[in-house]
């Protein structure tokens, strides 16, 4: 039984491959299929461009995360405030 090499991919698959490509998780064949798809699909080109910009902004941002101790303290304060105000989550 022979397998045909399917080059055309639907937009949903192209978007998935685009996401994977941002993190170097896509295969060479997937990248080829994505680039062929991007030649004729304006919507996916726009998605890919936006996705690249977002990844770049996040990568170069100077965002710092709260440390674990502070998170736990904030969580306890939040739970205390909920109990004091008789609120439910």
Please state the domain extents for the chain: 11-84
Contacts within 8 Å (CB) and 24+ apart, 29-32: 32/7
Three-state DSSP at 85 gives coil
pLDDT confidence band for 6 (50 / 70 / 90): low
Show Cβ contacts of residue 41 under 8 Å, excluding neighbours closer than 6 positions: 11, 14
Tens digit of pLDDT for each residue in 11-65?
A: 999 999 999 998 889 999 999 999 999 999 999 999 999 999 998 898 888 888 8
């Amino acid at each position: 039984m022979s397998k045909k090499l399917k080059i055309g991919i639907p937009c949903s698959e192209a978007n998935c491959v685009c996401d994977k490509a941002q993190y170097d998780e896509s295969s060479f064949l997937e990248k080829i299929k994505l680039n062929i798809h991007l030649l004729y699909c304006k919507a996916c080109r726009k998605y890919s461009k936006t996705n690249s910009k977002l990844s770049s902004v996040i990568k170069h941002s100077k965002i710092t995360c709260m440390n674990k101790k502070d998170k736990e303290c904030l969580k306890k304060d939040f739970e205390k405030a909920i109990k004091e105000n008789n609120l439910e989550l």
